[in-house]
Amino acid sequence: MKQALQIFGFTIVVSVFYWYVSLWVPQKRTDPPEDIEIASDLTIEEMIPIGEEIVAGKGTCLTCHTMGDHGTGLRFPDLDNIGAIAAERVPGQSDVDYLAESMYDPNAYVVEGYVAGMPNVARPPIALTDQEILTVIAYLQSLGGTPTVTMQTTLQWQGQAPAQDAAPAVAVGGNRDAETVFTTYLCNTCHSLDGTAGAGPTLQGLGQRMTRAEIYEAIVDPDEVIAEGYVEGVMSTMLNANNFYEQVSTSELQALVDYLASM
């Protein structure tokens, strides 16, 4: 009896110990971009809130644009009334086609007063699917206009984006050169190297105004020091959304700092 009790007590101690340990072992976290299930028979009314969710989430649109009550855009077009504007932008182009082109081929028409630099959101790293883009169009049309797009609308750009699983594999922890890293994570969409203004400061002459340590800090912790005249959170939101911080290796980061310091 005494022995049985001892074994029983020992079992409890062991179980409590493992339970305690399990509290301290970090749970393995995987955060794939949430894919939203999009049925092909959605009504327009059902498409709008899904489009809104994509705009705020996977689409990373609010990193750059203000829309409705969302976003902190500064050097980017305000999309508050885009549903009304879209039909007027390009003579002969419908609002649906204009909005689609803005996403699949953003440089085809550059809004006056702005700098080209919107990424093609159908391609990695953002990689919206054709179905997701239809719902985003419905949401954009609803901002000041009347949604007419449906899940059956066909657009000339559909099917051109690489399938999600055919997207080029990212060499995680790899040895990509600085220029590759600079374009892969869309640094070039916000920063020019030739002095032109963009969504972020030009990096021309960076080596003369910042030390390597400051450049390193500016990349690793962009919200710590904010360049004058720019908005906090734009760069960090984009780099978090495209998994820069998870994927970049130490040696790649080093190469990137060397590259920018040489400007």
Interface residues with ligand HEC (CB under 6 A)?
55, 59-61, 63-65, 76-77, 79, 82, 85, 89, 99, 102-103, 106-107, 110-111, 114-119, 121, 136, 140, 185-187, 189-191, 199-201, 215, 218-219, 222, 226-227, 230-231, 234-235, 238-239, 244, 256, 260
Of 121 and 151, the one with the shorter C-beta distance to ligand HEC is: 121
Nearest alpha carbon to residue 219 among 202, 239, 196 = 239
Q: In this structure, are residues 53 and 111 in contact, taking their beta carbons and an 8 Å threshold?
A: no
Q: CB 234 → ligand HEC: shortest distance, Å?
A: 4
Output the six-digit token pair for 168. 């080029």
Q: CB 47 → ligand HEC: shortest distance, Å?
A: 14
Of 137 and 151, the one with the shorter C-beta distance to ligand HEC is: 137
Cα–Cα–Cα angle for 147, 114, 218, nearest 5°?
110
Q: CB 83 → ligand HEC: shortest distance, Å?
A: 10
Q: In this structure, are residues 58 and 242 in contact, taking their beta carbons and an 8 Å threshold?
A: no
| CA 259 – CA 263 distance, rounded (Å) | 7
Of 7 and 110, the one with the shorter C-beta distance to ligand HEC is: 110
Q: CB 19 → ligand HEC: shortest distance, Å?
A: 42
| CA 73 – CA 257 distance, rounded (Å) | 27
Of 79 and 151, the one with the shorter C-beta distance to ligand HEC is: 79
Integer Rg of the chain from CA: 24
Of 10 and 114, the one with the shorter C-beta distance to ligand HEC is: 114
Nearest alpha carbon to residue 225 among 210, 238, 241, 242 = 210
First to last CA, the chain: 80
Q: CB 13 → ligand HEC: shortest distance, Å?
A: 50
Q: In this structure, are residues 218 and 151 in contact, taking their beta carbons and an 8 Å threshold?
A: no
Of 71 and 151, the one with the shorter C-beta distance to ligand HEC is: 71
Nearest alpha carbon to residue 43 among 150, 185, 137 = 150
Q: CB 133 → ligand HEC: shortest distance, Å?
A: 8
